A and B are shown apart, each in its own frame.
Chain A
């Protein structure tokens, strides 16, 4: 096990004379045994960053260190990492056992030890009865577990996950999420997990990196990211529905954006008068899409509070301790 350091990591692609920079100097210190999730919209560079740690993409600038060792120039196999791919990337012609054992065979681990390690991993993942099957004879969830098994048997310093749950159906995804958490508790291996799904990020992460357009917007615990978003991007990306960002809210200074989450607006006798436009019932709660002056605003109400009529005026009061202020030009938290 080891820590992972990203220092001023940069990625540029060169096609002919044009140069495209997709990662702009990411800095992060990930502690030994920590589970860190990288989350961001598609195209933000999160997978590229992970692949740079894996050694599948060259590092154009900066430094990546696993433990005390700078790995910039090392082959993926020499970095002591294991990766779980989105589509699992199992060798189709090999049995489950051979898939898990392949890396060890190449590393010339003795046959007895290979057998022992594969069987132990298969035990943890409940794959024991499937060892002789071929990947095509397995269900999606089972393939996913084989891919994780292949990572476990290598006993790496770091696990890398590239959106490993996005090919599973919703129920299996929730279940696998719990399994990954359990696995991390048992093995305690430093993990880097890439996803575009904020629910996955919030539930799995000990700390999370929020990325946008190649920049690291925030690096903190899920609580910090939710309660004290560093930028307007983080504020609108994390949380569903997203935070209301208002330029012209009552009491707001010019050049400042006021943020308030839909769940932190209460119906009250005095406060902001808003025009109700649509009401959505989501079971336990209701989302009221409304308008405050010229700006859209979402209010989250408990189902018991009753539905306001469309077109009526509702008075809501923001909780003062839950108001966020951002700089209107830079988007940074004030």
Chain B
């Protein structure tokens, strides 16, 4: 807009700031909580909005576990962060590789029932994880994959959304490019590596961000397939810290929540430029 009306600018800013405040306030409260002691949180009502002095202690307890002054035992979050990180990475990288390859096959190879295969993949979009969670659990448990990284990640790797996205992208790549590569002597896989993959890198980046966060935030599925503590992802850790103990150490819970929020935030911040490019770029 190029209108210059101070009142309007002021109003626009007010609404924007209000929006930001609504989003940021809970995160801020979480952070403030994590800097106070458990007693401070329990005794103050409402919660004080000034940072306390217990920052280092809360995070040390959350990360490495130990006994609190209240007498409860805290499980360390550091290994859970590692489990979450590995699962999210495997899910994101796995989803992207499989989708790239299946989209490549669907778009560039003529094989019998090609359309049928595409529609079969597409139809799985209609079924969310929750609907097929029973049979999936059965399969994973029969294969002995409970409490393993494979059990946490493999069932979540197949992705119709990503396949569909790459298919649509590949369809926009001009046919002449394929033909030029054929004349240059590039076989199918060579074309895939040298031409298609570099052209898709912005879409890959955008998808990586989305899928990493998707993998990191998985709750229901890890809840089912992990029973041993050393395979808990951090999202489960938060829940356990709240319901597992007699006396809830809220400062540690808050610290855990902040720790769980950090990696996805870092991924978004680091890949923001690519992410936006991948979503809006039309240049081929």
CA distance A106 to B190 in the complex (A): 9
Number of B interface residues at 8 Å Cβ cutoff, please give it.
Answer: 18
CA distance A2 to B73 in the complex (A): 85
CA distance A55 to B195 in the complex (A): 20
Query: Is B199 touching A93 in the complex (CB atoms < 8 A)?
Result: yes
Nearest CB of B to A117, in Å: 14
For residue B184, CB closer than 8 A to chain A, the reply is yes
- 6 additional contacts, CB 8 Å, given A77-B182, A88-B176? A82-B183, A86-B176, A92-B199, A103-B184, A103-B185, A106-B190
Nearest CB of B to A99, in Å: 9
CA distance A150 to B184 in the complex (A): 9
Leading 5 A-B pairs by shortest Cβ distance: A77-B185, A89-B176, A103-B184, A89-B180, A93-B198
For residue B194, CB closer than 8 A to chain A, the reply is yes
Nearest CB of B to A271, in Å: 53
Nearest CB of B to A289, in Å: 41
For residue B179, CB closer than 8 A to chain A, the reply is yes
* Chain B residues with CB under 8 A of A317: none
Query: Is A83 touching B180 in the complex (CB atoms < 8 A)?
Result: yes
CA distance A313 to B154 in the complex (A): 88
CB interface residues, A 50-94, toward B, < 8 Å: 54-56, 75-77, 81-83, 85-93
Nearest A residue to B195, CB-CB: A91
Main secondary structure of the interface of B (DSSP, over half): helix
CB interface residues, A 221-240, toward B, < 8 Å: none
* Chain B residues with CB under 8 A of A87: 174, 176
For residue B130, CB closer than 8 A to chain A, the reply is no
* Chain A residues with CB under 8 A of B195: 91, 93
Query: Is A102 touching B283 in the complex (CB atoms < 8 A)?
Result: no
For residue B177, CB closer than 8 A to chain A, the reply is yes
For residue B284, CB closer than 8 A to chain A, the reply is yes
Nearest A residue to B194, CB-CB: A102
State which of A83, A86, A88 has its C-beta within 8 Å of the C-beta of B183: A83
**Per-residue B-contact encoding for A12-30, CB less than 8 Å = 1, 0 else:** 0000000000000000000
Q: Which of B174, B180, B183 has the most CB of A within 10 A?
A: B183
Task: Jot down 6 A-B pairs with beta carbons below 8 A, ordered by A.
Answer: A54-B183, A55-B183, A56-B183, A77-B183, A85-B180, A91-B181
CB interface residues, B 110-147, toward A, < 8 Å: none
Query: Is B182 touching A76 in the complex (CB atoms < 8 A)?
Result: yes
Query: Is A136 touching B185 in the complex (CB atoms < 8 A)?
Result: no
For residue B186, CB closer than 8 A to chain A, the reply is yes
Query: Is B198 touching A103 in the complex (CB atoms < 8 A)?
Result: no
Nearest CB of B to A78, in Å: 8
CA distance A85 to B175 in the complex (A): 11
For residue A107, CB closer than 8 A to chain B, the reply is yes
Nearest B residue to A108, CB-CB: B185
Query: Is B184 touching A56 in the complex (CB atoms < 8 A)?
Result: no
* Chain B residues with CB under 8 A of A88: 176
Nearest CB of B to A309, in Å: 53
Main secondary structure of the interface of A (DSSP, over half): loop
* Chain A residues with CB under 8 A of B182: 55-56, 75-77
**Per-residue A-contact encoding for B186-224, CB less than 8 Å = 1, 0 else:** 100010001100110000000000000000000000000
* Chain B residues with CB under 8 A of A81: 183
Query: Is B283 touching A136 in the complex (CB atoms < 8 A)?
Result: yes
State which of A85, A106, A136 has its C-beta within 8 Å of the C-beta of B179: A85
Query: Is B284 touching A92 in the complex (CB atoms < 8 A)?
Result: yes
CA distance A55 to B283 in the complex (A): 29
Query: Is A106 touching B185 in the complex (CB atoms < 8 A)?
Result: yes
Q: Which of B185, B190, B198, B199 has the most CB of A within 10 A?
A: B185
CA distance A219 to B195 in the complex (A): 39
CA distance A38 to B181 in the complex (A): 24
Nearest CB of B to A134, in Å: 11
CA distance A89 to B284 in the complex (A): 11
CA distance A77 to B191 in the complex (A): 13
* Chain A residues with CB under 8 A of B179: 54, 56, 76, 83, 85, 89
CB interface residues, A 30-56, toward B, < 8 Å: 54-56
* Chain A residues with CB under 8 A of B183: 54-56, 76-77, 81-83, 103
* Chain A residues with CB under 8 A of B185: 75, 77, 103, 106-107
Given contacts A54-B183, A103-B184, A107-B185, A85 and B176 within 8 Å (CB-CB): yes
